[in-house]
């Protein structure tokens, strides 16, 4: 179950936001009983890149044995 402040991983590209599958964000709000989420994506320096409204099919929880990776930000 995804909760507020959980780290989540995008499971598909979101070109309208310049986000790629595998990007990691933090859940800042949950709609209903988990039907949707507001997810904040930040740069390595902590600057908010985008806050996106996503469905449960768009994200998953970070798994225990995964490692994070960085990439350059692509403007939307």
- For residue 37, tell me if it sits in a domain: yes
Which of 62, 42, 59 lies closest to 51, judged by CA? 42
- For residue 1, tell me if it sits in a domain: no
DSSP 19: B
- For residue 21, tell me if it sits in a domain: yes
- For residue 16, tell me if it sits in a domain: yes
CATH of the domain at 36: 2.30.30
- For residue 66, tell me if it sits in a domain: no
Could you read off the pLDDT of 12-31 as tens digits, one per residue? 999 999 999 999 999 999 99
Could you read off the pLDDT of 33-73 as tens digits, one per residue? 999 999 999 999 999 999 999 999 999 999 999 999 999 98
- For residue 72, tell me if it sits in a domain: no
- For residue 12, tell me if it sits in a domain: yes
Count of structural domains within the chain: 1
């Amino acid at each position: 179950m995804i909760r507020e402040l959980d780290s989540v991983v995008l499971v598909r590209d979101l070109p309208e936001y310049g986000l790629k599958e595998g990007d990691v964000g933090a859940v800042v709000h949950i709609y209903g009983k988990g039907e949707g989420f507001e997810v904040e994506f930040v740069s390595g320096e902590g600057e908010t890149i985008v806050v996106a409204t996503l469905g449960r099919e768009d994200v998953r929880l970070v798994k225990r044995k995964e490692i994070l990776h960085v990439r350059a930000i692509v403007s939307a």
